[in-house]
Amino acid sequence: AKLLDKRNDFSGRKVLVTAGPTREPLDPVRYVSNHSSGKMGWSLANALYQRGAEVTLVSGPVHLDPPYGITKISVETADQMYSTVTQLQANQDLIIMAAAVADFSPANPYSIKWKKTQDITVPEFQFTTNQDILAHLCQHRPSGQYIVGFAAETCDVSRNAQAKLKRKGADMIVANLVAGKNKGFTVDTNRVELFTPQGRLTESAGTKDQVAHDILDQVVQQCQDLWI
103 scored as a contact of Ca ion (CB under 5 A) = yes
From 45-53, 60-68, 100-108, 136-144, give the range in contact with Ca ion by CB under 5 A: 100-108
Instruction: Mark whether 160 is an active-site residue.
Output: no
Catalytic residue among 34, 46, 91, 182: 34
- For residue 97, the partner it binds in Ca ion, ligand CTP, none, with Cβ less than 5 to 8 A by kind, is ligand CTP
CA dihedral 34, 39, 41, 43 (to 10 degrees): -170
**Helical residues (DSSP H) of 56-184, grouped into ranges:** 78-88, 133-139, 157-168
Residues in the annotated binding site for CTP? 103, 113, 150, 164, 168
Among 74, 96, 86, 208, smallest CA distance to 148 is for 96
Specify whether the CB–CB gap between 57 and 45 falls below 8 A. yes
49 scored as a contact of ligand CTP (CB under 6 A) = no
- 133-192 residues in contact with ligand CTP (CB under 6 A) are 133-134, 149-152, 164
Q: How far, in Å, CA of 201 to CA of 175, rounded?
A: 11
Question: Which residues would be at the binding site for ligand CTP (CB under 6 A)?
Answer: 78, 97, 99, 101, 103, 130, 132-134, 149-152, 164
